[in-house]
Structures are given as C-alpha cells and as structure tokens.
Amino acid sequence: MTTIIDGKRFAIKLRADIARRINELGEAHGITPGLAVILVGEDPASQIYVRNKARQAHEVGMASFEHRLPADTSQPILLALIERLNRDPAVHGILVQLPLPPQIDPAAVIGAIAIAKDVDGFHPMNVGLLSSGGEGMVPCTPLGCLMLLKQQLGDLTGLKALILGRSNIVGKPMATLLLRENCTVTIAHSQTRQVADECRRADILVAAVGRPHLVKGDWIKPGATVIDVGMNRTAKGDGKTRLVGDVDFAEAVAVAGAITPVPGGVGPMTIACLLLNTLTAACRQRELVCN
C-alpha cells in the first residue's frame, strides 16, 4: 500500500523540537534566536508567506523582526537595512522575501547578507560550501525534502534519484544533498529528452517544476518515493483556486511506494526548516552546540 508522507505532521514535530531547544538555549545561555524578514512591495502571496514565517517564529519562542518596505524602495536603501541587520547581535537570521521589484538586483541583495545569517542558504558562499561538503546554510525547501526522504527510506545510499527542475533554490541544492547521501543523481529540465523514461528509472523522484500535474502515473517506477515540491494555483471552475502539485497525485498514488501530497507535504517543511536554520545560525554565531 502506498504511504502518504505527512509533511504537516513531521513539521509539527520538528517545530516542537526546535521550541524545546530554543527554551534550553535561553535557560542555559540567555540567547533568543532572532529572525529578520524583509518584504519589499505588496505581492499578496509574499505577504502571506511573511506573516506565516513571523507567526511560526513566535510560536517556537524566537524573536521575529518584520521589515515591510514600499514597492518603490531603492536598492541602496535595502542594502543599508541589510547592513544594519548584519551588525545587529539580536538578529541571527536574515531572509529577504523573493521576488523583488524590478529596480532591485536579487543577486546583489543575496550577496549582501552576512554568510552566517543567510538562513535561506542562497548566498554564493553557502552554495559553494554545500557543494564542497562544508558546513554552510542549506536551502530550506530541499532540506525539508531530504528530511522527509530519510524518515521514509532511512539510508539513501545507492538509490537512483531523479530531480525534475534545476533551479538554484530547489533543484540544484536538492541534487547536491542527495549526492551527499550517496544517491546516484540525475537532474532533468525543460530540455531533457525522454523525460518520462528518465523519471521511470528513479527510486526517488523529486518534482520541482512549477507545471501542474506534469508527472503522470506512468512516469513513476512502481514502488518509488515521490516528493512533490510544486505549488501551483489552478482555477477550480467556481471562481476559486486550489493548490496542486507538479505530480498528478491521483495517478501517482496508485504506482508510488510513498508520496507527498499537495498541500500538506513539502510546504509545511519549508518554514520549519527556516526556523531550524535560524536556530542553527544562532548556535554557530555563539559557537555553541545545540542539540
């Protein structure tokens, strides 16, 4: 029988563990991990994400600092704020919500965040540390996917993994993480030939494409573990929308050994891993081991 991987439940357990560790950190060392989130503009989806991040940070006992800037904010103003947060000892993690308005270069912004406070793991130095086996910050979504895979499968050594999508925030770091777990990794993208055949060879299939229901049941190796990162809003027909993944769940669930649903799979893990990264950042900045 196919296992539905319950990311929501796993994220609740992870947040409870983070809350316990934050409490111990406060009692033993008087430290409260602090997360600063910067939102530029009024993108409705970004506003929801930022609100959820702040709420969940509070719930686990973190300090949360929200900075909402108008859509016409200039790049120098944003960089000056980041510089200030880089120096602020109460702030251990800094996240700039993407996408940014067109007058701002995201690479310049990401590159301005202190490496130790880059809880999104997007700074080129953290990207380099991840691929060279160093101790950097790991991007939240792939980190959450890896946790779900390991709790489902245990040791991943020798498994064939196919990552559909090669973005800097999901596909590439996911591939690096699975390579670190000794998987044999293939990355497929929009130019890949016979993509369904590539997928069918995989014991682990991670779909991060942004195309609703692209992955059909006959793309999946029987018994494979499928992680659906996709978050696509589609019309329901009654004027409302619903969230669907990159995998055709109804077809895939009949073939896969285990699969994440959308919603309730990868999504809840992303914010939980952001909180985990902020805790990790706080511990490292004070040279403490916080287990």
Closest CA to 271 of 66, 129, 130, 60: 60
Identified binder of ligand NAP from the candidate list 34, 93, 121, 171, rule CB under 6 A:
171
- Name the residue nearer to ligand NAP (CB basis): 86 or 232: 232
Nearer to ligand NAP, 7 or 136 (CB): 7
Answer for which of 165, 175, 274, 276 binds ligand NAP (CB under 6 A) is 165
* First-residue to last-residue Cα distance in the chain: 35
Helix axes 140-153, 266-285, angle to 10 degrees: 110
Rounded CA-CA distance 290/278 in Å is 12
Report H helices in 30-112.
44-59, 75-87, 106-112
Q: Are 145 and 11 in contact (CB under 8 A)?
A: no
Respond yes or no: is residue 228 known to be catalytic.
no
Indicate if 150 belongs to the active site: no
User: Which of 32, 131, 232, 285: binder of ligand NAP (CB under 6 A)?
Assistant: 232
By beta-carbon proximity to ligand NAP, the closer residue of 81 and 229 is 229
Residues 113-142, mask of contacts with ligand NAP (x by CB under 6 A): ----------------------------x-
Q: Does 169 bind ligand NAP (CB under 6 A)?
A: yes
If you count them, how many residues does the chain have? Answer: 291
Tokens of 15: 């947040």
Regarding 170 and contact with ligand NAP (CB under 6 A), the answer is yes
Residue nearest to ligand NAP (CB): 167
Q: Is 241 left (phi over 0), alpha (psi -120 to 50) or beta?
A: beta
For residue 157, state whether it binds ligand NAP (rule: CB under 6 A).
Answer: no
Residue 208 in contact with ligand NAP, rule: CB under 6 A: yes
| 258 contacts ligand NAP (rule: CB under 6 A) | no
Enter the tokens of residue 148.
């779900």
Indicate whether 210 belongs to the interface with ligand NAP (CB under 6 A): yes
Q: Which two tokens stand for residue 130?
A: 């991840």
Distance set, CA 271 to CA 54, 55, 60, 141, 157 (Å): 10, 10, 12, 8, 27
Strands 3-4 and 258-259: parallel
Catalytic site includes residue 43? no
* 266 lines the binding site for ligand NAP (CB under 6 A): yes
Least distance to ligand NAP from the beta carbon of 139, Å?
9
Say how many C-beta atoms besides its own lie within 10 A of residue 200's C-beta.
17
Residue 194 interacts with ligand NAP (CB under 6 A)?
A: no
Which is the catalytic residue, given 56, 117, 120, 152?
Answer: 120
Residues within the interface to ligand NAP (CB under 6 A):
141, 164-167, 169-171, 188-192, 195, 208-211, 214, 229-232, 266-267, 270
Catalytic amino acids?
53, 97, 120
